[in-house]
Amino acid sequence: MLVLGRSQVEALLDLDALIDALGPAMADLSAGRASAPGRIAALVPEREGFLAAMPGFVPAAGVLASKLVSLFPHNAGTRLPTHQALIVMFDPATGEPVALLDGTAVTAARTGACSALSARLLAREDASVLAVLGTGVQARSHARAMCRVRPIRQIRVAGRNPAKATALAEELSAELDAAVRAVASYAEAIDGADIVAATTHALEPVVRRAWLSPGTHVTSVGYNPAGREIDDATVAEALVCVESRAAALAPFPTGTNDLLTPIRDGVITADHVHAELGELVEGSRPGRTSPDRITLYKSVGVAVQDAAAAALIVTAARERAVGEEITLR
């Protein structure tokens, strides 16, 4: 069995290839070809954390895998990330375990990459101003990925901690071919932005309809079981897309308050969800129909994303003879 550590995973992961690979994986999911049951979780109430299991089979990638991922929000500000994970891959022909790899880097990369896929499918072609809300791992991932699919020339970073926003802006400015600056508030970051990437652990919405310009594409990946990132008015007016209706509208620990709360309160119905990404990829549902329409991609994370990313990484590792082979039996 091949074993790959985090630094090896990061070195092997090709972001452009990952964005491309997620399209067929999401199409498999929407068409019912993939198998990706809703995640289950063991709760650790005293730490407000949980350990979740996410198995998936993706025919398009020829991969069978399962991720174990922990979410411990109190790790924020420590040496440990809030999300940590392992991925185990199995031979889809025999069920034999064939690889074990760090899943923390995979989770970060595939989440930003799938948001970028949503921007490729839904954002205006000329989108050039990106607002990044949050200052953590996903903020970095989204800034890097969005620049691969749209001609981003300006990035505004906002977060609860101004010092972290400034540090992230300086980091991204040195790395990306865009003018990057920290701003004082979420509203200032969003004002006039073409794409808004919300990556927070917010209790109260950080994206509000009054702040959005016509035609903005919003991506929301933040998760807080007690909160939400997007206000009712934005959800109600936007063309809403998800990875999976079943996953997005399921109860904890799978679904999202950003949709479940306005459904509960009668602001929208479940039918308001316009499409899954896979339906947009395959063309069975239309995407943006007007340059002024606000579009919203609400992510909860699904196993086919991890499986598709892991398949790319393991293939690259074997081609380059990277990693350690171990025997379990």
Q: pLDDT tens digit string along 269-292?
A: 999 999 999 999 999 999 998 999
Cβ proximity of 65 and 97 under 8 Å: no
Residues 160 and 247 occupy one common structural domain: yes
Question: 274 near 240, Cβ under 8 Å?
Answer: yes
Residue 60 sits in the same domain as residue 26: yes
Query: Is residue 41 domain-resident?
Result: yes
Q: Which of 177, 102, 180, 104 is nearest to 135 (CA)?
A: 180
Q: Are residues 308 and 293 in the same domain?
A: no
Residues (pLDDT < 50) of the chain are none
Q: Point out which residues pair with 155 in neighbouring strands.
A: 130, 180
Q: Are 217 and 122 in contact (CB under 8 A)?
A: yes
Count of the separate structural domains present in the chain: 2
Asked if the structure places residue 312 within a domain, the reply is yes
Helix axes 15-31, 303-320, angle to 10 degrees: 140
> What CATH code is carried by the domain that includes residue 205?
3.40.50.720
- On whether residue 131 sits in a domain, the answer given is yes
Residue 112 lies in a domain: no
199 and 69, same domain (yes or no): no
Domain that holds residue 95: 2-107+304-325
Q: Are residues 136 and 274 in the same domain?
A: yes
CA distance 288 to 133: 23
Are residues 128 and 65 part of one domain?
A: no
Looking at residue 184, its pLDDT comes to: 97
Q: Edge to edge, what strands does the sheet with 49-58 contain?
A: 40-44, 49-58, 63-71, 83-90, 97-102, 2-4, 324-325
What single letter denotes the amino acid at residue 194? D
> Which amino acid, one-letter code, is at 114?
C
Q: State the pLDDT at residue 224.
A: 86
User: Is 242 among the domain residues?
Assistant: yes
Is residue 158 domain-shared with residue 190, that is, in the same domain?
yes
Task: Give yes or no: residues 312 and 297 share one domain.
Answer: no
pLDDT in tens, 131-141: 999 999 999 99
* Residues 133, 72 share a domain: no
Is the residue at 55 inside a domain?
A: yes
Q: Note whether 295 and 309 are same-domain residues.
A: no
* 309 in any annotated domain: yes
Quick check: is 91 in a domain? yes
Could you tell me if 127 and 52 lie in one domain?
no
> What CATH number did the domain enclosing 76 receive?
3.30.1780.10
Q: What pLDDT is recorded for position 193?
A: 98
Q: Do residue 26 and residue 128 come from a single domain?
A: no
